[in-house]
Structure 1
Amino acid sequence: MAFRAGVITFPGSNCDRDMAVALEKISGAPALRIWHGDAALPDRLDFIALPGGFSYGDYLRSGAMAAKSPIMRAVVEAAGRGVPVLGVCNGFQVLTEAGLLPGALMRNAGQRFICRTVGLEAVNTSSLFTQGFARGEALRIPVAHHDGNYFADAATLDALEAEDRIAFRYTESVNGSARDIAGVLSANGRVLGMMPHPERAIEPAADPALGGADGRKLFENVVTALASA
């Protein structure tokens, strides 16, 4: 049965097409496009992606208004059933605001928008998103955010460490994130939020102009894991 992924579009999303293209290129099946105002998800979704952008213009707090969209009730319910959910950049912000992931994304240290390729290392290697990575594997993936400074209290950070729920860390000073966290997992490993954009680094050709291929493995991990489930 074909891989069936859905990409949510909020007012102000600007990476939804990139995400849909990445999912189709790697899975071979077109991604379904889902509007934020829908009250229900399509039947039998294998995977849900919340893309980057500036949902609702980042008013109130980044992701806060999108987290109250009608579709997010269905996303939260689907995540509770174990449907894998990926939130990238603004999507990560939405996941924290919706309570699917702990912590919050604050204004970058230095108060500047950051748009460049950064160094990461894989930390968790056991989730369906990360099982193809080696612990400590170096990655180069683009970021583009103004509110990417990950914050949580010390007890939460200690729990994330102890439970192996840190998916990726920055290997360089990027935005002031606590413990250099670039991505975190839910307790069951089925929800991942990350600030870097893996969908912008999926081209297999080793041509720097195409953004690299280090993000491709994340999507390949998901497709492989779900195909063998």
Structure 2
Amino acid sequence: MNFAVLVFPGSNCDIDCFKAVEETIGQPVEYVWHTETDLSKYDGIIVPGGFSYGDYLRCGAIARFAPVMNALVQAAQQGKYILGICNGFQILLESGLLPGAMLRNESLKFRCHAAMLQVENAATPFTADYKQGELINIPIAHGEGNYYCDDATLAELQTNKQIVFRYEAGSNPNGSVDDIAGICNKAGNVLGMMPHPERAVHELFGSADGKRMFTSILSTWREKHGAAVNG
């Protein structure tokens, strides 16, 4: 399974994502610069966290117009697996690949700490190795992670089981509507989340709960393509 990690000016979690793929599932992975216009060789694409274009205008607003985004939209339409983390989630929202928008944290402070998430949908390509309702420890690091959408959109997300992760009840760190920490598109192949699974792939990091996100993607892809699973 071939992975791409997109890199925008100001990305700073690209190396973490690259290492998470390389060291947790041992699959081919490459950095792809924002000027690239062809993503056809990749099966999984990660849009990493950071501060693309310095967060000018608003988070993800400029990155949304980068040349690589047209190819990313095509990849999403083709059913390829796309994971947007933190600023990557913001970029997916700005591009329209996911519904809703991001506001400043209610505290107006940058929050960087461990966070407990509840797995709300364990039937996606990104959560197949988790249990429904399981609590997992995935760190956050954001100043604008307050997910917002209107009532009609929220009802649609709930009905279609597009809410993949919620912050544990009573521990919402940013004020996001319905405690949302991550959502997917209707097809289930595009996931955006504010917490950082790539920073939770080894117990030395304080948690290894993020590792199963990467194994989930690989096992789902292999099942879909009939590939044999190696150890």
TM band (smaller chain):
over 0.9
Match of 2:137 among 135, 140, 145: 140
Listed as ranges, the gaps of 5+ residues in structure 1 are none
TM-score by length of 1: 0.95
Q: Which residue of structure 2 aligns with residue 13 of structure 1?
A: 11
Aligned equivalents of 1:219, 1:78: Cα separation in 2: 18
Pair 1:31-2:34 in alignment: no
Aligned equivalents of 1:218, 1:144: Cα separation in 2: 18
**What is the CA-CA distance between 1:222 and the residue it aligns to?**
0.4
Q: Which residue of structure 1 aligns with residue 228 of structure 2?
A: none
**What is the CA-CA distance between 1:134 and the residue it aligns to?**
1.4
Pair 1:225-2:220 in alignment: yes
The alignment of Structure 1 onto Structure 2 pairs a total of residues equal to 222
Larger CA deviation: 210-219 vs 96-105: 210-219
Q: Which residue of structure 2 aligns with residue 185 of structure 1?
A: 184
Listed as ranges, the gaps of 5+ residues in structure 2 are 225-231
Q: Which residue of structure 2 aligns with residue 88 of structure 1?
A: 85
Pair 1:122-2:108 in alignment: no
Q: Which residue of structure 1 aligns with residue 210 of structure 2?
A: 215
Could you tell me whether the CA contact under 8 Å between 1:20 and 1:30 is conserved in 2?
Answer: no
Instruction: Tell me the SS of whatever aligns to 1:61.
Output: coil
Could you tell me whether the CA contact under 8 Å between 1:14 and 1:53 is conserved in 2?
Answer: yes
**What is the CA-CA distance between 1:70 and the residue it aligns to?**
0.2
Give 1:61-210 correspondences, 5 Å limit: 61-171=58-168, 172-203=171-202, 206-207=203-204, 210=205
Aligned equivalents of 2:223, 2:128: Cα separation in 1: 13
**What is the CA-CA distance between 1:51 and the residue it aligns to?**
0.1
Aligned equivalents of 1:12, 1:226: Cα separation in 2: 30
TM-score by length of 2: 0.94
Aligned equivalents of 1:168, 1:174: Cα separation in 2: 14
Percent sequence identity is 47
**What is the CA-CA distance between 1:27 and the residue it aligns to?**
2.2
Q: Which residue of structure 2 aligns with residue 60 of structure 1?
A: 57
User: Once superposed, which parts of structure 1, at least 4 consecutive aligned residues long, lie more than 2 Å away?
Assistant: none
Amino acid in the other structure paired with 2:22: E
Aligned equivalents of 1:39, 1:131: Cα separation in 2: 31
Aligned equivalents of 1:141, 1:26: Cα separation in 2: 16
Amino acid in the other structure paired with 1:214: D
